[in-house]
Structure formats: structure tokens, C-alpha cells
Chains A and B, each alone.
Chain A
Amino acid sequence: MTATAPPSPAAPRPNVQAIGTRRRTTELGLLVLSAITILGAYALASLGRNASLPADILPFLGVILVLLIAAHLAVRRWARCSDALLLPIVALLNGLGFVFIARLDEQLAGLQATWTGVGIAAFIVTLVVVRDVRVLQRYRYTFGLLGVVLLLLPLLPVFGQNINGARIWVAFGPVSFQPGEFAKIALAIFFAGYLVERREILGVATFRVGPFTTPDPRQFAPVLVAWGISLLVVIFQRDLGSALLFFLLFLVTLWVATGRVVYVVIGFLLFGVGAFVSWTQFSHVQDRVSIWLDPWADPSGSGYQVIQAAYALAWGGTSGVGPGLGIVDRIPFDETDFIVAIIGEELGLLGTTAVLVAFLLLAGSGLRIAKGAGATFGTLLAVGLTSLIAFQAFIIMAGVTRLLPLTGVTLPFVSYGGSSLVSNYVLIALLLRISDQSVRRAPDPLAAL
């Protein structure tokens, strides 16, 4: 094949091929770096705790390599031209989380390893099944319905489980999971599909209020519906974090689709009203706010968790006390919601900053995929999925550091939790699919770089 040969529409263009190869090579290299980092952290944490290398270090290395190589080969086979950064960052976060879970509770670590395996299997299945994201657009209402059903599932009398004050669990026999984690992906697909279809109408400003033109008030109905669903989640499931996340997801997608700031303004006003009314009406919301304002009002009771988190972070200081050397067992839910506090204690500000940077890179890659996706559905879906991860990580870390009131959500990929891990792997697979398609379809592949 000569350099001057015109690209044939039938075969992949040669530079698409080249981009794919280059990206996969980069990904492989970065994955090796991630694996080395995880292995090093695992060894250090064991040295810190027992002054000896972990007995299972070789099997551990083997499992990491098998999982990462499986994921990498799947991407190479089914999404060759996709972004090279996502998988290595996810691997790093997941591995780092695993090291700290193993350091806190070995039994949970075994479960987390299993869930990681399931997550990567789900990741591969997603890549295999979803060969074209536009297929998802076709089933947008199905996904919308699925999302709402999943969201409301825990309210069912038999299956629904009330764990730690939030009714967000569903149990089928011995397996219990949080359907909300999967609902968020279904809803992201629904929002993207719905808004692609309606963006023209929603974006037109025909209604005049004084000097401003805004869209017809009737077009605000979807905003109100999303807001209502979020409120229902707050009221019946007591899950403030997820409610906030759903609402943010919808607002962000709507705003990106229409470019109308007024939706954001109205949305935040509605959010303010909802938050205020919830605060006046529900004691669990009031508790969260008063803990946020002054945890030391009840240091051994309601404020205990965030105070201990602050002490853990402060104890870590700039460079941390070292993996395995922290004083753990003090923070309730340290392996789920509060894992960043343990990372901050043992790896210090350097560790927490690394986590922040990893999530920023993830968000940056996601948004770059969104920008590069030629089709608007792909763009909106990428925006929605990226926002989910970026804001979920922000919400929980802001809660742990008392930047915002604490709302219990997991730190994606890092926290212990099967539902969260599996759903987030599916989410990443979808982002990779969008990325892959945008490169293949781009009229000038170089523009997509």
C-alpha cells in the first residue's frame, strides 16, 4: 500500500490502523506502569504491617497481569482505536483501592478481587455486545424505564434492604447489590438519547421575560421530572449522594445539549428549594448539615466519622505515615466511603493529590472523547458518563474533607463495593466504545487526536 493511495471506504484507512496500534502500545506501556505501582504499594503495605513481603505476592502479580492483559486484549480486539489513558488510570485506581482494602480487611479484599474479575468480564462483554453506541440511542426509552425501575427496586417490600440507614440495596438470595449504581448508566443513556432528539426544541428561545428570552416554560417539564425523581430518592431511600448525582447528570447533559444557561440556573434554584425543604422536613438531612457545620458538637457520636477522617488525614501530613503503618480501625466505613482518608493517612497529601490527579485525568480523557465524538448522541453520552465519575468522586471526597455535607457514595474504582465496581467498568467500556467509533468515523483521523 502506497502513501498516495486514496483511502478506500471498505477497508480501514491506514492511519486509523496506525492510530489504533500506537494507542494500544501506549496503553500497554501505561498498564505495565500501573501494575508495577500496584505491586509496589501492595508489597510496601505488607512490609509496613508485618515487616515481611506478602506470601501471596506472586499469585497477586499473576492475577493483576491476567486481569489487565485480558482487558487490554479485549480493547485491542474490539475497540482498537479507543483512548489509551482510561484503562491504565482505572487500573491504577482499582489497584490502589485494592491495596488499601487488603490492608484494612483481608476478607473484603478477596471479595473485591472477585468483583474486579466480574467487573472486567462485564467490561469485555460490554465491548463485545455494544459494537455501536447508536444502538443504545434506539433503546433510550427502554433504558429510561430500566433506570427508573432499578432506582425504585430497593423500595420493593421483599427484595429491598435497609442497610446503614439508606434503602438502596436489593437482595436476591445471598447476593445483594445496589441497583442505583446501574441505574445511573441507564439514565445517562436515556438522558443522552432523549436530549439528542429534543435539543432543537429545548434549545430554541422563544419566550420573553423582560429583557431575556428563554425557552418555552413547557420545555422545563423534563427538568421538573428529573428533580422530582431525585427528591423521591432523597425522601424514600435517604440517599442524598445519589440524588445529587442524578440531578447533576441531568442538568449537565441538558446544558451541554442545548447550550442554555437558563436550565442550569433554574436547576440550581430548584435544587436550592429542594435542599432547603428537605432540610426543614427530614431529620437525616438536618443531621448531615449539622455534622458538616460543626462535627465537634458531638465528637463521639454523629461527628465521630468526619472528625476521625480529619485526624487520619492530618496524621498523614504531607508524605503520609507509610503504607500499612497508619492507625486504622477508627473510621467507620473506611473501606468504602472513607477510603480516601486512609489513603491520605498512609500516603499523605502526595497520595490524595495523586488520586485527585487520576480522577482529573479520567475526566479530561472522558471530555476529550466527548469532544471528538462526531455524533451528538455519543458526545452527550460521553459527557454524562464522564460527569458521573468525576462528580461522584468529587461528592464523596468533598464529604470526607467537609467541603460539602457528607453524602455516602463510593469513590469510583477505589472503594470496596461490587455494584459500584462492575457498573463503573461498564461505564468505562462505553466511553472506550464512543472513543473508538469517533476515531474510525472521523473524516480526518488526525482531527480526533
Chain B
Amino acid sequence: MRRQIALLGAAILICYVALFVKFNQIQVFQADALNERTDNTRQLQRDFNEPRGSIITADGALAAFSEERRATLRYQRVYPEGDLLAAVTGYYSFGLGSSGVERSYNDELAGRTTALKLRELTGFFTDTSSEGDVVLTVRRDLQAVARDALGERQGAVVALDPRDGSVLALWSWPSFDPNQLSSNDTAQATAVKEFLDAVPQKPLLIRAYQENYFPGSTFKVVTAAAGLESRTVTPAAPDYPVVTEYTPPLTRQGISNFGGAPCGGTLFVILARSCNSSFAQMAVEQTGPEPMVAAAERVGFNDAPPIDLPDPARSVYPTDFGDVVERPPGRAPVTSDAPKLAQTAIGQNDVRATPLQMALVAAGVAAGGEVRAPHVMGEIRARDGSVVERYEPEVWRRAFSPADAATLRQAMVGVVADGTARNMAIPGFEVGAKTGTAQLGTTPPRSHGWMIAFGGRPGQEPTVAVAVIVENLSGATAETGGSTAGPVAREVLAAALGAG
């Protein structure tokens, strides 16, 4: 009997060791994974019962703060500016999760970063809380200019500082009111979310950086860069024939200029006049598919920009143009998809770009070829106002050589001086721009109107780059982009430059 009792003891011990192992597994080894499961709202509930930092615009406006309530959840998030800064701040909801800066800087706002925690420790006896305020690079005044300029038209506005990638404005219409989504009344918030999800224009999608569009003629800047980079195109040559359309090899489908107008000339001329025929010919005959892909990817296509906001969309440039079918002497090799290559050269076919990406193209040209990582966070401040963390600018891409960037800059300034973007001129400033009218291939014709631009003091490095899209306009003429997106871009640019 003694033996059995000893064995029974061993059996019980084994059972309890198994339990000990299981507790270890759940409480230690899998703890992080379990805490981070999306259906686990513990972290969230704790956050809603603790103070949370504010979000403040670069010009000092309060974009989001937490208000103490006498309720189950102690804090209610409030967005005093309504929908104005929704694209940047996002929402912060107990039942629906969060978006925007509320999500990407959650640890800072909740005070969970090491730097903020250390500060809390040093103030151990003075009852300091560790939550941090996020100070944005986005300006409230500029955001309002963008909102008013775009009005009720569907579209987006992005304004950046090309020198360090600071996002100055990020506006999308339709927008949404984060106050409703962030209501601690979960049933109400859920109803609002369901309504917004059902709206066909998708207000919760931040078009400025989460949606892709045909870039249309604004992409010609990239095509020009590819030509310059491949050393087959210079400002002087080739001199493209003045024609109404260009027919690429292996097809009879020509690429025509807007309105069937004859168009052609050297690089600066064809960019200023936005000649479809010439850029199609440049990509097919001078540059060739591989350098086109390389140039597009160097400015950031086929990759998501490293912006500090959640879920940025990738811009797309096709990578496969088929096998080489012919090697004409003195020209780029012809591949089986040459007609497609010709269409991509003018931002059609399978090319897609976010407004943010096109703003980065303009910024890259303005900043001597370097595309700096876009960001909305300027600095993180502790509750006492001291700066805990400052954004460190970094280069995302070296898109163009400094010489090519200078050429492109000059070419884009030419578009404003004597081209399709004359309405972009701002007295006292040097402005470069490129219009776009992306045809949607519908009947009757519809299009997205585009404008990308940069501006600054003459002879100095430009200080602002913008991209504007006005979606789904009726008609598709060369002027469509310039006349719709142009005034919006000019107003934002002027306001950002301080030109009144």
C-alpha cells in the first residue's frame, strides 16, 4: 500500500506540473500574443480608463484630447475640429479599434514608450502621468484651405515639405467626423460605422494615401526622369515630331493627344504641352521597358511609402512588358507588350498612384532627387511640455540624380511659365507643376483631374510640394486637370508659402 501511495503522490505531482507548465505557457510565453489578439479588448479597456495624450497641429490647434467622464469608461475622446483633421488623427473607439495617428502613435499617446516611462519614473514622487502629446507637422490653417478649396468635390489634397518629408496638409473628401465613431456608446459608434461603410464613396478610406488612381499625365514627370536617366533623352534631343498621335509597334491602336491636337518638340516643350504622343514614343523608342520600371520604382512605385500612418496603399507600375521581339539599331528593344508600355508612359493602363505618391514625385524633383520619408509626427511632448522625441528626417528614395532633378525642376517650372499649368503661377515665387487628366475609359468620357506642384523662393530649394486629385469629372480634355485640380493646388501652395 505504501508503494501505491507513493505512486499516487507522483501521479498528482505530474498533474500539477502539467498545470504549472500550462500556466507558464498562457501567462508568460503566449501572453503577448494573447494580449494583442484583436478580439481581446483588455488593453483597450485599460487605455480608456487612463488619461491619453492630445494630438496638436503644427500651428497649435487641438486636434484630439481625452475628456474625463463619470462613466464605465473614464475617458471620452474628443475631436474639436470635427472632420477637418480626421484623415490624420483617425478615430479612437472602444468597440471599433482605432485609425490614423491614434493607432500609429498609440503607445506614445498612452504613455507606454520607454522614454515616457522613464520620465514617469524620475517624477515618481510627484504624481506625473506618462501620457505623451503628439505634435503634428500638419497645419490646421492649411488643412482648412484645402477643405475649402476642394469643397464638395470628391478628391484629395496632399502638401509636403520636400526638405524633410513633413506632411503639411492631408485632406480627403468625403471625410468623416471622428467624434461619432469614437463615442463610448459602442452601439451608436457601431451604427455610424455601418452607415459610413455602406456609403459608396467610402468616407473612411483616406483617399490621400490609401487609394490608388490613374495618375494620367502627372506620370510624365516619371517618364521624363526615366528618359533622362537612360541617357537617351536630353533637353535638346530628341525633338519629337509634331503629330496628332503615336502608334507603337505591334498595334494599330494609336495614342492620341488631347482633342486630337498636333503636339511635339523637345523635352521641355512636350512636358509643358503634355504631349501624349511624344512621351509614349519616348518610353517605347528611347527608354525601353526596364529603365521605365527602374525609374518608377526609384520614386517609390510598387512599394508603400513609409508614412507614419496605418495602411498606406502601394502605388503600382507594371513590371512585365513581355519578351523582346525586336532590337532595332539605336533604339530601345521592342517587347511584346510595347503598346502597354506606351500607355503606361502617360499614366494609363495598369499604372496606379496615390495622391501621396504623386506629391512625393514633385517633392523628389524639388529636393534635388531625394525623396524624404513622409511623416505627420513632428515631436512627442510630455505633459509638462518638454520634448521627449523629435522626428528625425530620413531619405526614403534617391529617385533622380541631382543633375536630372535640376533638369526636371526646370521643365516643371516651364509648365507653369508657358504650358498647361499657367494658372499655378504665384507672383514672387518659383512654382513648378504638372497637370494630369486621367481618362477613365468610359462613355461619355470621364476623368480624374490632377495637379502636382512645388514652390519656393526663386533660386532656393522649394519648400512645399503638393498633389491634388479631383475625382471622376465629366469630360476629358487637356485642360480638365489643370482647370479643376489646378486652382485647389494653387490655393494650398500659396497658403503654404505664405503668399496670401
Contacts and interface: CB of A to CB of B under 8 A. Distances in A.
A327 B27 contact: no
A356 B23 contact: yes
Contact of B5 (A307, A360, A371): A371
A414 interface: no
The A interface is mostly helix, strand or loop, or mixed, namely: helix
Interface in B1-42: 1-6, 8-9, 12-13, 15-16, 18-20, 22-24, 26-28, 30-32, 34-35, 37, 39-40, 42
B42 A315 contact: yes
A259 B28 contact: no
A213 interface: no
The B interface is mostly helix, strand or loop, or mixed, namely: helix
Contact of A356 (B19, B34, B40, B45): B19
Interface string A297-315: 0011000000100111111
A318 interface: yes
B4 A255 contact: yes
Contacts of A224: none
A140 B355 CA distance: 86
A259 B4 contact: yes
Nearest to A252: B8
A397 B21 CA distance: 12
A353 B35 contact: no
A256 B5 CA distance: 7
Contacts of B22: 398, 401-403
B95 to A, nearest CB: 13
Given A310-B26, A314-B26, A314-B35, A383 B5 contact: yes
A387 B32 CA distance: 36
B46 interface: yes
A327 B45 contact: yes
A308 to B, nearest CB: 9
B16 A317 contact: no
A379 B2 CA distance: 9
Given A256-B4, A371-B5, A401 B19 contact: yes
B5 A348 contact: no
A364 B8 CA distance: 10
A63 B15 CA distance: 35
Contacts of B40: 311
A402 B19 CA distance: 10
Interface string A127-140: 00000000000000
A285 interface: no
A7 B27 CA distance: 56
A363 B12 contact: yes
Contacts of B26: 310, 313-314, 344, 401
A402 B5 CA distance: 28
A348 B23 CA distance: 9
B30 A314 contact: yes
A194 interface: no
A234 B20 CA distance: 28
B19 A398 contact: yes
B1 A256 contact: yes
Chain B residues touching A, range:
20 to 34
Contact of A317 (B2, B20, B28): B28
B437 to A, nearest CB: 49
A315 B30 CA distance: 10
A359 B4 CA distance: 20
Nearest to B30: A314
Contacts of B5: 256, 367, 370-371, 379, 383
B27 A316 contact: yes
Contacts of B20: 353, 356
A394 interface: yes
Contacts of B24: 349
B276 to A, nearest CB: 54
Interface string A257-271: 101000000000000
A259 B46 contact: no
A371 B4 CA distance: 10
A188 interface: no
A244 to B, nearest CB: 13
Contacts of A318: 27-28
Nearest to A340: B23
A410 interface: no
Nearest to B3: A259
Contacts of A398: 15, 18-19, 22
Contacts of B1: 256-257, 259, 376, 379
A314 B40 CA distance: 11
B414 to A, nearest CB: 61
A209 to B, nearest CB: 22
A327 B46 contact: yes
Contacts of B32: 314
Nearest to A380: B1
A396 B405 CA distance: 71
Interface in A303-354: 307, 310-318, 327, 344, 348-349, 352-353
Minimum-distance CB pairs A-B, first 4? A314-B34, A314-B31, A256-B4, A349-B27
28 contacts: A252-B8, A256-B4, A256-B5, A256-B8, A259-B4, A311-B42, A313-B23, A314-B27, A317-B27, A318-B27, A327-B45, A344-B27, A349-B27, A349-B28, A356-B16, A360-B12, A360-B13, A363-B12, A364-B9, A367-B5, A367-B9, A370-B5, A379-B1, A383-B5, A387-B8, A390-B12, A397-B19, A401-B23
Given A307-B39, A379-B1, 12 more contacts: A257-B1, A314-B30, A314-B35, A327-B46, A349-B27, A360-B13, A367-B5, A367-B9, A371-B5, A390-B15, A402-B22, A403-B19
